[in-house]
Structure 1
Amino acid sequence: MPVPKHIFDPPFNIIRSSHVVLDVVDLKASAEFYENAVGLHVEERGDAAVYLRGREEQQHHSLVLRKASHATCRRLGFKVGDEGDLDKAAAFFSQNNIAFAFAEQPFQGRTLQFSDPFGFQIELYAAMDKRPLLLRRYDLYKGCHPQRLDHFNVFAAEVQDTVDFYARLGFRLTEYAEEDGEHGRIAAAWLHRKGNVHDFAITNGKGPRLHHFAYWVPTAMNILHLCDVMASSGYLNNIERGPGRHGISNAFFLYVRDPDGHRLELYTSDYFTGDHDHAPMRWSLNDPRRQTLWGAPAPRSWFEEGSPFPEQALREPQFVAEVTVAD
């Protein structure tokens, strides 16, 4: 399948992945997990929602937990360059028959929410309330010392079309996994805006669903430390996959599940991709180093389970990718 060309003059300027809004059934249990086990900083706490951020982030929040009757991914948030980009985005969506609306969101400036053609619920903003940098407040560090939200990964039923759509918005391909042969199809793609491996990854599967969101941590030792923390604080069974190193992205990783089943990746050691002529790297689906550089395959849950978006019907993928699954 075709690899999209890089577009350097998109219809509006997305800067980076910014925040995720999750609906959770037990707000207290979820906040406890993210604050005390993972180590995010609680910026605002209420009966209906909790707002958290990483140590390096000066924005008010990068994770919003909302009390709800069902666990879903409410929104994925991206930051745009300025207020004018919100108007440019609205014009683009109007011209392309994409549903959108401006909405008031706590601690954010003007926010544009839209449903992309594949059912992913996205919001864009240019300004968010500022908070003091906590990078050097080592007395406040907990868990694995998460610094900043890095990326989202989603299950998409129509991988190629989804990749092509976000390429139109200026997302640039860094790595991709493809079937072998003359008519091989792309089964997963990693796209970025901020100059590392990805802000948004698109994976073949039943969708639209959130596969995971990821926080960047300083070193691999922080991830190993989190394994010890979770094993000794009642969260041993919440560890789903890892620790290990991906071939794709070169990242040292750990995947964990929160009390509602939302998947979180802790992540470090990827690389710079900001050059305009950076060439995407192709991976064969048959290469065992793709999933884990050391050859260990992922568990079945990693391929099959994800967080739905509210009021979005799930669709089966257009094709079934042949991947190795751990026994």
Structure 2
Amino acid sequence: MPVRHPAPTPPFNIIRMSHIELGVTNLDASRKFYTEILGLIETEQVGNSIYLRGLEERNHHSFVLTKVERPHVIRLGFKVASEADLDSMATYFGTKGMATGWVTQHGQGRSLQMRDPFGMPLEFCYEFAQAERMLQQYGAYRGCHPQRIDHFNCFTPNVQASHDFWALELGFRTTEYTVSEDADPQLWAIWMHRKGNIHDMAFTNGAGPRLHHVALWVPTAMHIIHLCDLMSTTGYLDNMERGPGRHGISNAFFLYVRDPDGHRIEIYTSDYLTVDPDLEPIEWQLRDPQRQTLWGAPAPKSWFEEGSLLAGANVQPPVLQAQPIIAS
């Protein structure tokens, strides 16, 4: 059960996770949920795609909602430090026999696409078209005042293998992790970052690869409380899945909601800084009641079983059968 710490430095520099494209079945319903309820800013609609961003974000988009027949995740996006890093990535993974390809996406510069060993659809880019920063345009604030996209969490059939690739090949650094309570402990979940907070990417044991959730960062816990009041009185009570509460892992205050197609969104704040290169990862036992929620409340069964399909990825059963505490 090795945690690859510290992660090696690859010949390219991934800055952070940066964007996601979600396939949705009803653009009008999705627009209302993401802009009027959550509070994202609509940059524009082009064809069957709506481009959204957080209040402090100056990139053209961090969320893309595209009309599809069946809901799924189309791509998980990451920003690199320079155009040269994209070329270095293409060369690096080409020498390893991994397929890569260049694509053109609306609102961003040339973009490199590839898949991780389990088939997750990944996209890397440097340049985005720029949009107005709305941080001080307080009249535009709605919902929970979402400032920016923060992280992905994905189900994987093999947490150790996913961690090894993302640490050894992509240079993601570990902050916290969960192990099974076996004589030979196995990785059950892991939190990894590039930007200096708890995570840009987390992996959770389960049938996968699938997206567990994408997170929005908000200013305070009270913005999450306000969202609970808003959703419960505007017809979205059943869309609140878990929380509000405070995680043991990450210390973050959270709420998990589901969009009209069932994609899970975490509303997230109050984690901590992890930029020091000698920061030691924190280990948690799988059945520690404070691991999921500092206050001891376990998550519902849906939180461990349901997720969004990823375009082109074949779902595999998990190799580890260890069970967390589940709310009755």
Q: TM-score, normalised by structure 1?
A: 0.98
Asked if 1 retains the 8 angstrom alpha-carbon contact of 2:241 and 2:258, the reply is: yes
RMSD of Structure 2 on Structure 1 (CA): 0.9
1:178-232 Cα offsets, whole Å, 9 max, x none, are 0134411010000000000000001100001000000100000000000011011
1: CA distance, partners of 2:195 / 2:304: 27
How far does residue 100 in structure 1 lie from its aligned partner after superposition? 1.4
2: CA distance, partners of 1:6 / 1:106: 36
* Partner residue, 1:220: 221
Asked if 1 retains the 8 angstrom alpha-carbon contact of 2:11 and 2:89, the reply is: yes
* Partner residue, 2:185: 184
2: CA distance, partners of 1:258 / 1:181: 37
1: CA distance, partners of 2:12 / 2:46: 34
How far does residue 173 in structure 1 lie from its aligned partner after superposition? 0.2
Report SS of the residue matched to 1:274.
coil
* Partner residue, 2:198: 197
Q: How many residues align?
A: 327
* Partner residue, 1:261: 262
* Partner residue, 1:83: 83
Identity of aligned residues (%): 54
1: CA distance, partners of 2:8 / 2:218: 29
* Partner residue, 1:111: 111
Mapping of residues 1-327 of structure 1, within 5 Å: 1-168=1-168, 169-327=170-328
Report SS of the residue matched to 1:237.
helix
Report SS of the residue matched to 1:259.
coil
2: CA distance, partners of 1:137 / 1:8: 41
2: CA distance, partners of 1:251 / 1:98: 36
2: CA distance, partners of 1:42 / 1:241: 26
One-letter code of the match for 2:193? H
Which 4+ residue blocks in structure 1 deviate beyond 4 angstroms? none
Task: Give the gaps of 5 or more residues in structure 2.
Answer: none
1: CA distance, partners of 2:152 / 2:273: 18
Report SS of the residue matched to 1:2.
coil
1: CA distance, partners of 2:115 / 2:30: 26
Asked if 1 retains the 8 angstrom alpha-carbon contact of 2:210 and 2:310, the reply is: yes
1: CA distance, partners of 2:97 / 2:236: 45
Report SS of the residue matched to 2:289.
coil
One-letter code of the match for 1:222? H
1: CA distance, partners of 2:251 / 2:114: 32
Report SS of the residue matched to 1:303.
helix
2: CA distance, partners of 1:193 / 1:311: 26
One-letter code of the match for 1:236? L
Asked if 2 retains the 8 angstrom alpha-carbon contact of 1:6 and 1:170, the reply is: no
2: CA distance, partners of 1:86 / 1:123: 10
2: CA distance, partners of 1:319 / 1:8: 26
1: CA distance, partners of 2:318 / 2:188: 10
Report SS of the residue matched to 1:289.
helix
How far does residue 47 in structure 1 lie from its aligned partner after superposition? 4.1
Task: Give the gaps of 5 or more residues in structure 1.
Answer: none
Report SS of the residue matched to 1:151.
strand
Report SS of the residue matched to 1:163.
helix
1: CA distance, partners of 2:293 / 2:133: 34
1:101-141 Cα offsets, whole Å, 9 max, x none, are 00010011010011111111100001101112110010000
One-letter code of the match for 1:72? H
How far does residue 14 in structure 1 lie from its aligned partner after superposition? 0.3
Report SS of the residue matched to 1:249.
coil
Report SS of the residue matched to 1:302.
helix
1: CA distance, partners of 2:312 / 2:210: 11
1: CA distance, partners of 2:215 / 2:275: 20
Q: TM-score, normalised by structure 2?
A: 0.98
Report SS of the residue matched to 2:290.
coil
